[in-house]
Amino acid sequence: MVIRMERLKHGLKLYCHYVSISIKSMMQYKTSFFLTALGQFLVSFNVFLGIHFMFLRFHTVNGFTYSEVLLCFSIVLLEFSVAEMIARGFDTFSQMVRTGSFDTILVRPRNEILQVLGSKFELTRIGRMLQATIVFLYAVLHCNVGWNFAKVMTVIFMIVGGTAVFSGLFTVYAAFCFFTLDGLEFMNVFTDGAREFGKYPIGIYGKKMLLFTTFVIPYALVQYYPLLYLTNRTDDVINILIPLCAVFFLIPCYAFWKFGVRHYKSSGS
């Protein structure tokens, strides 16, 4: 146990070292950094405008009001951008496999994920995060949530769980790189797609979609169910804790990654 803790502490320290170098090298290209961050902001801003203009025409969707949808949109965006900042290194992982830089990671005595993620920390996602925060604040001010301790905790759990789900998906995406380098676009449905379509409460997509996102890829656990609680559609306190269950999603994702690394080591792709 003590050794475990020691290792964890060490790993964390190393990760921070990676992050500081990442930021340092990013700051060599300040313009590029700001523009990319701006781009992140603008892309999500378009999504926001899409919602905004739809609600100028329609008043509710499936009973959800404009500000409730914004609450949903901003929390999902927050979850996504935190996950991206940490784990988007997996996004360019196909390049790492293609150019063979993954080899240099394998010849170092450290966990592979720590090294991959550390070397590709993405501060530029701050643009998206900023957008999410602004919209979130707006939604908080205009929603009749009736904030209390339980609800604040719900939001925090949503962000923790959501970050875990998206990070897990990025991990799966990267693990696919070990098998194929050119079918990866498909995974975007689950990452970018989930961000894009998670802007509306999952309930509007019908029963089947709700089942899928409850039991297969647990988006609904970090979006729909806790949202019902936040917007006072249910009093069931279980909804506060549901988002935390989504963290278990990381287990199969990690297993798949390990499987991928083993495959890489036997095929040398």
User: Which residue ranges make up the site for other proteins (CB under 8 A)?
Assistant: 10, 13-14, 17-18, 21, 24-26, 28-29, 31-32, 35-36, 38-39, 42-43, 45-47, 49-50, 53-54, 56-63, 99-101, 103-104, 106-110, 115, 180, 182-186, 188-189, 193, 196-197, 200, 204-206, 209, 262, 265-268
Q: How far apart are the first and last CA of the chain?
A: 37
In whole angstroms, the minimum distance from the beta carbon of 27 to other proteins comes to: 9
At residue 185, what is the residue type?
A: E
Using CA atoms, how far residue 265 sits from 91, 124, 246, 258, in Å, is 21, 32, 30, 11
Nearest Cα to 194, choosing from 204, 202, 182, 206? 202
In whole angstroms, the minimum distance from the beta carbon of 238 to other proteins comes to: 26
Q: Give the dihedral of Cα atoms 18, 20, 25, 31; nearest 10 deg.
A: 130
In whole angstroms, the minimum distance from the beta carbon of 39 to other proteins comes to: 4
Q: Judged by CB, which is closer to other proteins: 18, or 257?
A: 18
Q: Judged by CB, which is closer to other proteins: 9, or 248?
A: 9
Angle at CA of residue 180, ends 162 and 260, nearest 5°: 60
Nearest Cα to 93, choosing from 170, 207, 197? 170
Q: Judged by CB, which is closer to other proteins: 176, or 225?
A: 176
Instruction: Give the DSSP H or E segment for 60.
Output: strand 60-61
Q: Judged by CB, which is closer to other proteins: 140, or 209?
A: 209
In whole angstroms, the minimum distance from the beta carbon of 93 to other proteins comes to: 16
Structure tokens given for 77: 């965006």
In whole angstroms, the minimum distance from the beta carbon of 148 to other proteins comes to: 30
Q: Judged by CB, which is closer to other proteins: 148, or 208?
A: 208
Q: Judged by CB, which is closer to other proteins: 179, or 256?
A: 179
In whole angstroms, the minimum distance from the beta carbon of 151 to other proteins comes to: 25
In the three-class reduction of DSSP (H, G, I as helix; E, B as strand; rest coil), residue 66 is classed as helix
**Cα distance between residue 199 and residue 77, in whole Å:** 8
